[in-house]
Amino acid sequence: MSETKTILISGANRGIGNEVARTFAKAGWNVSMGMRKPTMPDWAGTVDPAKLQVFAYDATDSEAPKEWVKAAREQFGGIDAVVANAGIMVRKSAVDVTDAEFDSLIDVNVNGPRRLVQACWNSLLEKGRGRVVIVSSLSGKRVKSAISGAYSVSKYAALGLSHAFRHAGFEQGVRTTALCPGFVATDMGTPLAGGNPDGLTTAGDVAESIFHVINLPNSASVSELWMNCSLDDSY
């Protein structure tokens, strides 16, 4: 029998992160879920509880990833994949954003993933086929509107971070993907799309895509994955 694989997912308590956790748990992976207020998900009873872990993780806390990785290794033995998903939106243009707001966008959306992947790095190298997914956004590919400008800057940086990890780990079998969705029907995305979730990409769609990418062999590296529910110039 093959060894059970282990994945860490940040911001796993709701939205995209919760669906990613559920998808991997359903497939029999060990799933370690980082969240600010650790609570077992409502679907926990549908899978083997021994394969689930919740851990206190705040993306702004520089020590949290190391503690989380230690706890995951203690419970599951190793780490095969990490999804840096936790993120925030500030609906302000690059002109109107304050220093404090911009600092938090960079801290949560860029430094958070950087610190989390760094903490996982040696564990991923051990596997010879580690996997990293950084949840960026189509806002990391183009600035859609003035009001999404400040957020876009952070997501362009997250995209660059993903490519930087892809280069750093490629020779040792680590494959890194920047996931770039448009509007997703979550607490974050639905209001941005005008309040109606109908027709938006679902968190489950995103989770299935991440599952597919993570399970591809080393010979099929996906550097960026764009997805959209509406027509965009190029995406």
Ligand X SMILES: NC(=O)c1ccc[n+]([C@@H]2O[C@H](COP(=O)([O-])OP(=O)(O)OC[C@H]3O[C@@H](n4cnc5c(N)ncnc54)[C@H](OP(=O)(O)O)[C@@H]3O)[C@@H](O)[C@H]2O)c1
Least distance between ligand X and beta carbon 110 (Å): 11
What would the two tokens of residue 113 be? 């993933």
- Indicate whether 118 belongs to the interface with ligand X (CB under 6 A): no
Least distance between ligand X and beta carbon 119 (Å): 14
Amino acid identity at 115: R
- Indicate whether 108 belongs to the interface with ligand X (CB under 6 A): yes
- The residue count for binding ligand X (CB under 6 A) is 25
- Indicate whether 17 belongs to the interface with ligand X (CB under 6 A): yes
Active site residue 57: no
Distance CA 201, CA 115 (A): 28
Burial (CB < 10 A; 0-12, 13-18, 19+), residue 164, is: middle
What would the two tokens of residue 114 be? 């950087």
- Indicate whether 85 belongs to the interface with ligand X (CB under 6 A): yes
- Indicate whether 142 belongs to the interface with ligand X (CB under 6 A): no
Distance CA 185, CA 16 (A): 9
Under 8 Å between Cβ of 106 and 88? no
Burial 171-200 (b: 16+ CB within 10 A, else e): eeebbbbbbbbbbbbbebbbebbeeebeeb
What would the two tokens of residue 107 be? 């801290």
With CB under 6 A as the contact rule, the residue among 14, 51, 66, 114 that binds ligand X is: 14
- Indicate whether 36 belongs to the interface with ligand X (CB under 6 A): yes
What would the two tokens of residue 81 be? 């994949």
Stretch of residues binding ligand X (CB under 6 A), selected from 25-33, 38-46, 58-66, 210-218: 58-66
Least distance between ligand X and beta carbon 66 (Å): 15
With CB under 6 A as the contact rule, the residue among 187, 217, 219, 234 that binds ligand X is: 187
Look at the block and give the residue holding tokens 């308590």: 13
Least distance between ligand X and beta carbon 142 (Å): 12
Least distance between ligand X and beta carbon 80 (Å): 21
User: Measured between alpha carbons, how far is residue 181 from residues 140, 172, 194, 228 in Å?
Assistant: 9, 28, 17, 6
With CB under 6 A as the contact rule, the residue among 7, 20, 33, 59 that binds ligand X is: 59
| 23 three-class SS | helix
- Indicate whether 88 belongs to the interface with ligand X (CB under 6 A): yes
Our CB check for ligand X shows the closer of 127 and 185 to be 185
Binding residues for ligand X (CB under 6 A)? 11, 13-17, 36, 57-60, 85-88, 108, 135, 137, 181, 183-184, 186-189
- Catalytic residue positions, numbered: 151
